[in-house]
Amino acid sequence: MVPGIPALVGIAPSPPDRPVFGYGGQPGPFGEVLEVYPYPLPENVTAIQGDTEEDITFSIYLSIPILPEDPGIEGVPLAILFHAFNNPDRYSYTDWIGRLIGKGMVVAYIQYPTDIRPEGADNWDDTESEGMSDWPHHVPRLYSIYSALNSLEEIIGDDTRGAEIDAVLGNLSIMPEHLYIGGHSLGGAYALNALEMVQEFGWGSETVVVNTEMASSRPSQNLWQPNFDQLPEATVVHLAVGEDDMTVGQCDSVYHQQLFELIEDNNSLLIYIPSDRYGFPRLIATHYIPATEAHDTLADWAFYRRVDAQADWVVARSRGDYNTENFAYFHLIDGPLLRDMGEWSDGTPVLELEPYSNAIQEKRFNHC
């Protein structure tokens, strides 16, 4: 039989549907109000910006959940997300943002300039080692992110925030001590640096979720080496890589995991997302799983289920909701609840997620 014909005539099994209930299902229940706050780029950045992003006013997009009146809570946690290289458009991450908002978090989506042209960069011969690279572009980008985070601190502060936030949240505080931070590709790498930066604000002192998806290399420059020795016991780290990511290698995230060596093993996981070509359409784990434009069945099971559980855990901890906290936690640590990817229509299990608590020691990553 000609390859592909079984699928066309309905013989090949189809992928699982999106989960109907629970994590990975319909996002919500909370809607959002979006506020946009431009922030100042440092002069040493604007002086070397390229022209491909000259039409962008770099901003913090703050999504605020619409909660019921008198929800009986002190406040809402904070999530911070960073985009991939040359992709500052918020639309690419609206599905990710929507999951976090839907659980009751404030989400700060931070645009930062990626078209940076430092002197000598055109002929730079980069050195890459242990998940790091010495591209000179890293430093001005990180100065931009630091400026954005300082602006964000003022934007969300109880004593400094604007009436537009009060109009949505009323007397509820934004509680960055319960923190979710993540990013895609280059934004995943920079999320690690951003986590280091916000520790000086006292953010993430109670709860931290780190979620990087297909993260690229982080800066090797000495000034930008993060130290996570002071993260709270309630820290969960997911560093996801895709089998068929042709843009960023898996080894960067394998080495990023070493930054979290003081975190309990089952709370710091490198998550390998396999491709499954059993049925049709095939489930291919590419670089773009977290992007709205590539939202498919694989993303529902491998990515959005985790995001729902991550958000539920942070929100539950901020509210002292121990039942939900424990329920969500068991979807975040290695076990059948995390690994499950559903079934093809003929009952064959889809290849499961593969979590590793110390990926650098695993045979799968010997090439690193």
> Could you tell me the residue ranges of all domains in the chain?
5-121+128-365
pLDDT in tens, the chain (368 residues): 444 455 555 689 999 999 988 899 989 899 999 999 999 999 999 999 999 998 999 999 999 999 998 888 999 999 999 999 999 999 999 999 999 999 999 999 999 999 999 887 778 878 899 999 999 999 999 999 999 999 999 999 999 999 999 999 999 999 999 999 999 999 999 999 999 999 999 999 999 999 999 999 999 998 899 999 999 999 999 999 999 999 999 999 999 999 999 998 889 999 999 999 999 999 999 999 999 999 999 999 999 999 999 999 999 999 999 999 999 999 999 999 999 999 999 999 999 999 999 999 999 999 99
pTM, entire model: 0.96
Q: Are 343 and 16 in contact (CB under 8 A)?
A: yes
Q: Where are any strands of DSSP class E within the chain?
A: 31-38, 59-66, 75-82, 106-110, 128-129, 132-133, 173-184, 207-213, 218-219, 235-242, 268-273, 354-356
User: Dmax of the chain from CA atoms?
Assistant: 70
- The owner of tokens 């997911």 is 238
Query: What is residue 122's predicted lDDT score, i.e. its pLDDT?
Result: 78
Per-residue confidence (pLDDT) for residue 194, from 0 to 100: 98
The first and second tokens of residue 320, run together, are 């002292």
Measuring CA to CA, how many Å separate 157 from each of 161, 193, 196, 268?
5, 22, 19, 30
- Which pLDDT belongs to residue 5? 52
Q: Which residues contact 215 (CB under 8 A, 6 or more apart)?
A: 183, 184, 185, 188, 189, 191, 192, 239, 248, 252, 253, 256
CATH of 5-121+128-365, one of 3.40.50.1820, 1.10.1520.10, 3.30.450.20, 3.20.20.140: 3.40.50.1820
CA separation for the pair 283, 297 (Å, rounded): 8
Neighbour count for residue 349 (Cβ, 10 Å) = 14
How far is it, in rounded angstroms, from Cα 263 to Cα 251?
20
Q: How far is CA 49 from CA 130, 147, 259, in A?
A: 28, 16, 31
Q: Which H or E run includes 339? A: helix 336-339
